[in-house]
Chain A
Amino acid sequence: MISFYEVVKKNEGAILSGWIEEMVRGVRRADLMTDTELKQQAKELLGLFAKAAESSSDAESEAFLQTREFLRDIAKSRMDQGFTPSETALFVLSLKQPIFNALRDALKGNPSDLLNEVWASGNLLDRLALFTVDSAVEFRDQVIGRQQEEMLELSTPVVKLWDGVLALPLIGTLDSARTQVVMESLLSAIVETNSQIAIIDITGVPTVDTLVAQHLIKTITAARLMGADCFLSGIRPAIAQTIVHLGIDLVDVQTKAKLSDAFAMALNRMGKRVVALKPAGAGMVLGSKAKDN
């Protein structure tokens, strides 16, 4: 009996061109990949597939390890290039037709063998295609995850106001996940900039409930443990009322209504003072010290 992999090996060239033809007819996406690249990938996969099929019919076996690794690689590169997961899988599935054609020719006198080999090779390719889809989806999820992280980081900028003084202007609602990211960004910024004081400004936070307050207090406590102090600024009257009503105890956290006042207090704490330069005359020079409002 002739096995399908023998047929594949014998007709590798014909199957390869049949496969390319098949893909051109179907979903080619020439806008995403050149002919040369496509031929290269097809040739390599066909070679790996034929070799592995010699020793095993199980797509998950050790014999198919190299094939799977190759499929993972092309799944990743195709996702990067912009293919959809199913387009990537079709690359593998479209190999079925040319193999069936070759099998039909080789086993034409033997219908039951033909059936077996068609089934065996088809099954194998199906599984490999599914594996390819899984890999493609996994890579896409990774990209999405990274993008989400970047978005979160962008929305929580930490600003250096002065040597040793950081400001964290919070904008928008604070949910649990966001607050975690905020906490971590602030604390790493404290270490990176060697800052002693961080001003958390909540002017842009519409509501403060018990959970948000708890998160803020945890952040402040963690900063203290590291050796930095935190002030809270931008507390609107409505928020002040909510805090009292909820019975939240802002355990000796310095608070100021305005960020500018908090900044002044921070400078003071660091032993720095803002002074006015001599009144500007001819040849005025822009001072490096901030002028009093």
Chain B
Amino acid sequence: MERIPILKLGDFLLVTIQVDMHDQLAITLQDDLTTQIAKHASRGVLIDISSLEIVDSFIGRMLANIAAMSKVLDAQTVLTGMQPAVAITLVELGMSLSGIKTALNVERGMEILSQFTDPGYEPQDADGSQE
């Protein structure tokens, strides 16, 4: 069965979604990620979607699920690299994915995750308010 590879980078897990996913692949990714987070006690998950040209409500829900499940396992999720056309379409669809942290690219995403896991750091939401 094909799966999307999950890379371990220290305390974090990195996933790059490059293919046009069919539903089963998305569900498998969800399962794999939760398994890996638990297995490695990961503190953060970075999902890079800079190659994804289509994000529909199913994929959107999957991403939201991953973020929620990770949180339960005490890991922060960051979504990076959403393309402008995808962002515009998602907003029009009515999905704002408000619970998920986002970043422009993997580099920024890693910064956010590092800050999150730094014991002395107080996390800030994107709009500036303290969590």
Contact = CB atoms under 8 A, between A and B. Distances in A.
Q: Do chains A and B touch in the complex (CB under 8 A)?
A: yes
Contact of B128 (A184, A224, A269): A269
Contacts of B129: 252
B108 A227 contact: yes
B118 interface: no
Contact of A224 (B83, B88, B102, B109): B102
B128 A218 contact: no
B27 interface: no
Given A190-B104, A194-B105, A252-B127, A226 B82 contact: yes
Contacts of B104: 190-191, 194-196, 226-228
A229 B126 CA distance: 7
Nearest to B124: A269
Nearest to A220: B91
Nearest to A225: B87
Interface string A176-205: 000000011001101100111000000000
B128 A254 contact: yes
B91 A225 contact: yes
A184 B87 CA distance: 10
A60 B1 CA distance: 53
Contact of B87 (A187, A195, A254, A269): A187
A222 interface: yes
Nearest to A223: B87
B7 interface: no
B120 interface: no
A195 B84 CA distance: 13
Interface string B103-128: 11100110000000000000000111
Nearest to B60: A225
A221 B94 CA distance: 10
A225 B128 contact: no
A187 B84 CA distance: 6
A225 B127 contact: no
A170 to B, nearest CB: 18
Contacts of A195: 104
A218 B80 contact: no
A221 B92 CA distance: 10
**Contact-residue bracket for chain B:** 20 to 34
Contact of B88 (A187, A190, A253): A187
A226 B79 CA distance: 8
B105 A222 contact: no
Interface in A254-270: 254, 269
A254 to B, nearest CB: 6
A252 B97 CA distance: 15
B122 to A, nearest CB: 14
A155 B15 CA distance: 40
Contacts of A222: 84, 87-88, 90-91
Contacts of A269: 128
A114 B129 CA distance: 89
B96 interface: yes
A225 B82 CA distance: 7
Which of A184, A224, A228, A252 gathers the greatest number of chain B CB atoms within 10 Å? A224
- Nearest 9 Cβ contacts at the A-B interface: A187-B84, A222-B87, A227-B103, A227-B104, A227-B102, A225-B87, A222-B91, A226-B82, A221-B91
7 contacts: A191-B83, A224-B96, A225-B86, A225-B87, A225-B90, A229-B126, A252-B129
Given A190-B84, A229-B128, 18 more contacts: A187-B84, A188-B84, A190-B104, A191-B104, A194-B104, A218-B92, A222-B84, A222-B87, A224-B96, A225-B87, A225-B96, A225-B102, A226-B82, A226-B84, A226-B102, A227-B79, A227-B105, A229-B126
